[in-house]
């Protein structure tokens, strides 16, 4: 059992109300409301420069907000200096003390507070991060992942109610990153305190967090459980930034029961009304979103075998890449060019090669409908800089 279990610390909730930050005429964070429940693993996800670190520094008290209040466990701490807040931060550069061994690095916070007997707590912390055997090494004698765990132990020993992590895995290679993601998740589950993790890596955010807030240009675009964000993105930015989405512009031509009926280049598509984030009016346009793995490819010669009730588009394979677990296709369709389709490699149809005529088909329930006023390519990797989306501000705010 860890020191946390014995003291019963289980974190506290964090509430930001109307928090904004301007540096001169640069607005790093627009007025922002965030509520992080006690004991949750919360991720702030967004591209470089979108205001993640600024938000974290405001919570820690390292940055004074231009407007708004910070509450921890219901207490307004906006005016408190950092050292009076029950918060610790782990930065990307772990900033370990090079001249101290691992044991003393972890003991540091206790010694500074004048705690006389540190042994039991330090041992528990080293066990928690599985570095008991490394206590007498110096930081430079550890791997990047091990140093990262020392940094976490050094912060946790102060029993913060909230641990802030700013891209703590940024210096690690991909394999170690994946390992550390699971490790951090385990530690958080064990100590039960509130973790707020900042990252620009969508896979990392989805792997670790209970709740992800997707930030774009100083605003929260959408917040929710990873699966909900992925399955039901509310903006084109979220649809493209979290995984890959095909977004097809279609005309709304009618309704049938709860379904919205659409047309794109003489092909009819259906979308359940509850899957649309905007009202669909006949004569207007809608973006129909569909994830690549939800689409099945059938060779045009077998089109008759496709079950009724599925949405279908015709197309021609432009590219295919075999990547082991799946094959990824780019398909040009009269409805849209460059549609992405991922097929699991179970029974591969040898006819599905570039140049082949195919039908793309999917269950209408798997689509989602977005406001067509937004930029279709917002949040795509090649454009993931700042200020990607200018259109669709209203839809973005509705999604927060
Ligand atoms: N001290 C400062 N003075 C002026 N502008 C600043 C300052 N700190 C941050 N900014 C600006 O505020 C915006 C948000 O910065 P922030 O560090 O919060 O981004 P971030 O989301 O953490 O990005 P990254 O992923 O690159 O770390 C950026 O445009 C940045 O240039
Ligand atoms: Mg940052």
26 CB less than 6 Å from ligand 1? yes
Residue that has been written with the tokens 């990153």 in this structure = 177
Q: How many CA atoms lie within 13 A of 230 on its CB side?
A: 16
Query: What tokens appear for 127 in the block?
Result: 């066990």
Q: Which is higher by pLDDT, 23 or 400?
A: 23
Rounded CA-CA distance 389/346 in Å is 38
For residue 3, the model assigns a pLDDT of 44
Q: What is the mean pLDDT of the chain?
A: 89
Q: Which is higher by pLDDT, 384 or 99?
A: 99
Rounded CA-CA distance 72/161 in Å is 9
How far is the centre of ligand 2, averaged over its atoms, from the C-alpha of 74 (Å)? 27
β-pairing, 211-216 with 41-46?
parallel
For residue 5, the model assigns a pLDDT of 43
- The model's confidence at residue 10, banded by pLDDT at 50, 70 and 90, is low
How far is the centre of ligand 1, averaged over its atoms, from the C-alpha of 13 (Å)? 25
CATH code, residues 292-364: 2.40.50.100
Query: What tokens appear for 247 in the block?
Result: 């977004």
For residue 159, the model assigns a pLDDT of 86
**pLDDT over threshold 80, residue 216:** yes
Q: Whose CA is nearest to atom 4 of ligand 1?
A: 23
**pLDDT over threshold 70, residue 367:** yes
Q: Whose CA is nearest to atom 26 of ligand 1?
A: 48
**Superfamily of domain covering 238-291+367-400:** Nucleic acid-binding proteins (2.40.50.140)
240 CB less than 6 Å from ligand 1? no
Q: Which is higher by pLDDT, 77 or 176?
A: 77
**pLDDT over threshold 60, residue 391:** no
Q: What is the mean pLDDT of residues 315-335?
A: 96
**Superfamily of domain covering 3-231:** P-loop containing nucleotide triphosphate hydrolases (3.40.50.300)
Same topology, domains 3-231 and 292-364? Answer is no
pTM of the model as a whole? 0.85
Q: Which is higher by pLDDT, 194 or 144?
A: 194
Ligand 1: residue of 20, 50, 387 to mutate (most ligand atoms within 8 A of CB) is: 50
Domain ranges of the chain: 3-231, 238-291+367-400, 292-364
Residue 167: other Cβ atoms inside 10 A = 19
- The closest ligand to the CA of 199 turns out to be 1
Rounded CA-CA distance 139/147 in Å is 6
109 CB less than 6 Å from ligand 1? no
For residue 145, the model assigns a pLDDT of 84
Q: Whose CA is nearest to atom 27 of ligand 1?
A: 48
Residue that has been written with the tokens 């782990």 in this structure = 90
Rounded CA-CA distance 177/180 in Å is 5
């Amino acid at each position: 059992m860890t020191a946390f279990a014995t003291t019963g610390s289980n974190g506290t909730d964090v509430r930001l109300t109307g928090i904004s930050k301007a540096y001169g005429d640069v607005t790093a964070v627009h007025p922002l409301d965030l509520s992080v429940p006690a004991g949750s693993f919360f991720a702030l996800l967004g591209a470089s420069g979108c205001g993640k670190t600024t938000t974290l520094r405001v919570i820690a008290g390292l940055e004074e907000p231009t407007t708004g209040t910070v509450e921890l466990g219901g207490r307004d701490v906006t005016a408190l200096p950092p050292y009076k807040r029950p918060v610790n931060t782990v930065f990307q550069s772990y900033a370990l003390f090079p001249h101290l061994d691992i044991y003393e690095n972890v003991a540091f916070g206790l010694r500074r507070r004048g705690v006389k007997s540190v042994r039991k707590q330090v041992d528990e912390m080293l066990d928690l991060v599985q570095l008991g055997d490394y206590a007498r090494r110096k930081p430079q004698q550890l791997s990047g992942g091990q140093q990262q765990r020392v940094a976490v132990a050094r912060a946790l020993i102060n029993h913060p109610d909230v641990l802030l992590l700013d891209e703590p895995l940024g210096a690690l290679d991909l394999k170690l990153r994946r390992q550390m993601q699971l490790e951090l998740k385990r530690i958080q589950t064990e100590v039960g305190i509130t973790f707020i993790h900042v990252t620009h890596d969508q896979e990392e955010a989805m792997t670790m967090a209970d709740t992800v807030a997707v930030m774009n240009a100083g605003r929260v675009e959408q917040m929710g459980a990873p699966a909900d964000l992925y399955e039901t993105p509310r903006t084109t930015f979220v649809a493209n930034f979290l995984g890959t989405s095909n977004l097809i512009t279609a005309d709304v031509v009618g309704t049938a029961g709860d379904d919205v009926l659409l047309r794109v280049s003489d092909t009819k598509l259906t979308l359940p009304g509850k899957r649309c984030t905007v009202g669909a009016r006949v004569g207007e346009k809608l973006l129909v979103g569909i994830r690549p793995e939800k689409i099945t490819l059938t060779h045009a010669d077998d089109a008759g075998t496709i079950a009724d009730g599925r949405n279908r588009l015709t197309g021609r394979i432009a590219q295919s890449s075999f990547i082991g677990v799946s094959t990824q296709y780019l398909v040009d369709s009269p409805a849209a060019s460059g549609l992405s389709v991922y097929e699991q490699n179970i029974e591969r149809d040898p006819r599905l090669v570039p140049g082949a005529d195919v039908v793309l088909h999917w269950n209408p329930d798997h689509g989602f409908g977005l406001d067509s006023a937004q930029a279709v390519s917002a949040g795509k990797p090649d454009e993931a800089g700042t200020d990607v989306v200018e259109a669709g501000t209203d839809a973005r705010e509705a999604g927060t």
